[in-house]
Chain A
Amino acid sequence: DAKTTQPPSMDCAEGRAANLPCNHSTISGNEYVYWYRQIHSQGPQYIIHGLKNNETNEMASLIITEDRKSSTLILPHATLRDTAVYYCIVSLGSNYKLTFGKGTLLTVNP
């Protein structure tokens, strides 16, 4: 699976949009981009995933660049409960072994 690079930490004001970047410059054509988050002392929570097109669900939006070398997870209106470590994972469609790196610690401030 392609390697991902994320900033170690980010801050966001409550109510504002949180934009979390992820670089995956070695991604191959059939690899998906997944986002999970882990709130302190809890299990990872699935957020969203995509292949080429931008995706949106009730939690977030995923913007994938045209060359697929990077992506951005957008939480449109961050709340204090969104404070968590966010993991960007690139994985083949047939690969079940998710590889969690260090992720980005997002801190939402009041």
Chain B
Amino acid sequence: NAGVMQNPRHLVRRRGQEARLRCSPMKGHSHVYWYRQLPEEGLKFMVYLQKENIIDESGMPKERFSAEFPKEGPSILRIQQVVRGDSAAYFCASSPFLGGYQETQYFGPGTRLLVL
């Protein structure tokens, strides 16, 4: 059973460019979460999505960041007009159906974004 897949593993962008990070959840998982880890800091929650729905984006910056989880295909975290402060590791996690109880989240290997 393949785990959570993220690509690319490393991404280099120049200031002002767009970054697209992809996440394929574990088989059978319908919930996706994105976290960001700045250098020397702990992971911080960004957004929680189900298929075609954003459930909670309270941890996501209001501007330049967006996330989606379409009916078909991976979840995408999109960062427009990147700045140096966006340099971080971005982790995706997935869990099975949430039936009023927090199911265990399983994390992918992360995408390390470097903004030059």
Contact = CB atoms under 8 A, between A and B. Distances in A.
B45 A98 contact: yes
A42 B106 CA distance: 12
A89 B3 CA distance: 22
Nearest to B40: A102
B59 interface: yes
Interface stretch (B13-21, B70-78, B79-87, B96-104): B96-104
A100 B107 contact: no
Contacts of B104: 34, 46, 49
Interface band, chain B:
20 to 34
A102 B42 CA distance: 6
A84 to B, nearest CB: 13
Interface in B84-116: 91, 93, 95, 98, 100-102, 104-110
B42 A101 contact: yes
Contacts of A95: 102
B48 interface: yes
23 contacts: A43-B4, A43-B6, A43-B91, A43-B93, A43-B107, A44-B93, A87-B42, A93-B102, A94-B100, A94-B102, A95-B102, A96-B48, A96-B56, A96-B98, A96-B105, A97-B45, A98-B43, A99-B42, A99-B45, A100-B35, A100-B44, A101-B42, A103-B42
Given A43-B91, A43-B110, A44-B91, A91 B42 contact: no
A69 to B, nearest CB: 21
A93 B59 CA distance: 19
Which of B31, B101, B102, B107 has its CB near the most chain A CB atoms (within 10 A)? Answer: B102
